Structure 1
Amino acid sequence: MSIERALQSVRQLRDSVRAKNPPPEEGAPSHEEPVIYFSLVRNTRGYLERLVHQINGSYEHGWYDASAVMIRRLVETLIIEVYERYGLADSIKTVQGDFFYLRDLISAITAEKSWNLSKNAKAALPRLKDVGDMSAHSRRFIAQRQDIDRMMADLRVIVQELMTLAALK
């Protein structure tokens, strides 16, 4: 058997296996918790749990831009959850009814007097946004493991604090 024929057989086998065993429709749980402890979101909202699985799973596989963008999305979502919990969601919407961009959400949540956001959280929010923005919008920026690693302490503070303020945990 030639190498070409063997490779063709392997490709056919791979395609057959993929056709019979597609990836899960709603995503798979991550195997590890390298970025965010799953206990912080367990039994809250399904979409928060899936976001955390995607953050951890993309980190596990070395897809650091994907992880950074999902972290940005989680932060944005948690800020909105806090505002909804306090009945203030309209204050972070445009006249068209869309939620503000993350930059404006961060400005709003750090200035809001209905709760007391910690000094650490206020400092962490812009840092988390910056890496997520670069991964999402910069053509030449490719996130590295260390970029996510440096975010982990800030992320831990933000996730737990916003989950608490939103009364999700």
Structure 2
Amino acid sequence: MAANGEEKSPSARLDELAQTAWDVGKKAAKHRKGLGGDNFYGNKLAALRADAANAFADMAAATLGDTSTIAELIDAVFSATTGKKERQTAVRELSHSLKTIWKQRSPGAVTPGNELFPLTIINKANRGYLIILAHQMNGCMRQGWYDACAVMMRRLLEAVIIEAFEHHKIADQIKDPHGNYVQLTDLINAALSQTTFALSRNVKAALPKLRNVGHRSAHGRYFTAQKGDIEKVEDGARLTIEEFLHHAGLL
């Protein structure tokens, strides 16, 4: 709670968590303990990272444009492998960004709802970039930016499919001859044809529909997505993303 009794804004919470992470790192070094091990300091940093992911997810939708830079700084601040100087620099840059670039609403002004995918679930995956994608997708839905929402849905779908293939060590099945990951259509075809992990009947039915709405919004010259276009695939998106997160070992 803030000194005046009001709840701290998400940016203030995140700034405070970053400062605490810096202190934990210094104390761990003083006591010659690794931050990646199963010890007090390693466990403390892991807990701080989870709290930071939640604070980041709570930040207002109006700041969507800055999320990639903030997420990179968060990863650096709360990673167990970040060096002392790099962590200190990241903490300073994150604190500066939170106090200057990000314009926060009060916690009561944030209006949850219209979430295509619950942030409470994506946070458990502990992948900063997945949280960013879900946060932007949900924010676009709230703002009524339906083409942007469909494109972010497409990106999130691509990401969770790749995570699942990487987890099962079959990523070569979704790479081209140059070692690059293939596009969404080929990712979906590979997901439907592989036999390493089983997809549910509902997800198999949803994948082509999700592909189509994403393609139209991303590439359709005259297509403009409407709220109804997103609502038609809402349930399928929710089921599909969560199922691939499970196949990726992230839930």
TM score, norm. by length of structure 2: 0.56
The reply to whether residue 94 of structure 1 matches residue 135 of structure 2 is: no
Q: For this pair of structures, how many residues does the alignment match?
A: 148
SS in 2 for 1:55: helix
Q: CA deviation at 1:43?
A: 3.2
- Percent identity over the alignment is 40
2:120 partner amino acid: S
Greater relative contact order (Cα < 8 A, sep 6+): 1
SS in 1 for 2:124: coil
Structure 1 residues without counterparts, runs of 5 or longer: 1-21
Q: Over aligned residue pairs, what C-alpha RMSD do you find?
A: 1.9
Give the equivalent residue in structure 2 for 1:37: 118
Q: CA deviation at 1:160?
A: 1.2
The question of whether the paired residues in 2 share the 8 Å contact of 1:65 and 1:135 is answered with yes
2:194 partner amino acid: E
Q: CA deviation at 1:33?
A: 4.0
The reply to whether residue 138 of structure 1 matches residue 179 of structure 2 is: no
1:79 partner amino acid: I
2:223 partner amino acid: F
> CA–CA distance in 1 between the matches of 2:130 and 2:192?
22
TM score, norm. by length of structure 1: 0.82
2:112 partner amino acid: E
| Higher helix proportion | 2
SS in 2 for 1:43: helix
Change (3 A) 1:31 1:42: farther
Deviations 1:18-39 (Å, cap 9, x if unpaired)? Answer: xxxx956326898424111112
Picking from 13, 20, 25, the partner of 2:66 is: 25
Picking from 184, 188, 197, the partner of 1:106 is: 188
Deviations 1:68-110 (Å, cap 9, x if unpaired)? Answer: 0000111111100000000111121001111111111111111
Give the equivalent residue in structure 2 for 1:84: 166
